[in-house]
Amino acid sequence: MRQAIVRPGRVRFILNHGAVTVREAKWNKAGNLILTGDSNGVARVWDAETGEERLRLAFDTFVSQATWNQGESLILTRSESEVQLWDAETGEERLRLAFDTFVNQATWNQDESLILTRSESEVRLWDAETGEERLHLVHPDRVFQATWNQDESLILTSGDDGTARVWDVETGKNGCV
C-alpha cells in the first residue's frame, strides 16, 4: 500500500474583500486573472500573479454570480434583482436588466447574443446587445432550472409543480414531460 505524502499548503496571496462573504471566485481561461463577487455588492478582477486589484464593479446588493463571456471582453453579473453586463477592461456598464423578483439564474447562449434569466416562476430571453425582451415564459409554479438544448431551439424547465417543460424558443409554446 502506498502512503501519501502530505505537505501543508502555502497561501500565495489573499484577495481581500474585507469582512464579507466572497460568493464567487473564478479564473479566466489564461489563468492570469481572477474574478470575485461578494455579499457586500462588489465584483472585482484581480491579477492572478500579484494579487493586485485591476477592476472594481459596485452594486446595490450582494453579487450572486460573476462570469466572463467566452472572449473575456465582458463580465455578466447577477445580483438580487438585476443582471448586468460590464466591459471587462474599463468597468463600463453595457446593459442592465431589472426585475421585480429575485433572479436565480443568468446565462448566455452559445454565440452570446441572448441572455437567459430565471426568477421565481418566470424564464426570459433577452437580447444581450439591446436588453430587449425576446421571450417571456411563465411556469405555473416556481422554476428550479432552465437550459437550452444543443441547437438552442428549445428551453427545458423544471418546476415545483411536478413537471419538466419543453418550450419552443420561436413560439413560446410548451409541453409537459
5 CB neighbour count, 10 Å cutoff: 5
* Region for 112 from its dihedrals, namely left if φ exceeds 0, alpha if ψ lies in -120 to 50, beta otherwise: left
Q: From CA 91, how far away is CA 17, in angstroms rounded?
A: 18
Instruction: Fill in the amino acid letter for 125.
Output: L
Q: Determine the pLDDT at residue 131.
A: 97
Burial label for 78, CB within 10 Å (0-12, 13-18, 19+), is buried
What domains appear along the chain, each with residue ranges and CATH number? 11-98 (2.40.10.480), 100-177 (2.40.10.480)
Q: Determine the pLDDT at residue 14.
A: 86
pLDDT in tens, the chain (177 residues): 556 666 778 888 889 888 889 999 999 999 999 999 999 989 999 999 999 999 999 887 889 999 999 999 999 999 889 999 999 999 999 999 999 999 999 999 999 999 999 999 999 999 999 999 999 999 888 999 999 999 999 999 999 999 999 999 999 888 665
Residue-wise pLDDT tens digits, 99-143: 999 999 999 999 999 999 999 999 999 999 999 999 999 988 899
What residues are paired with 126 via a beta bridge? 115, 133
Q: Determine the pLDDT at residue 91.
A: 95
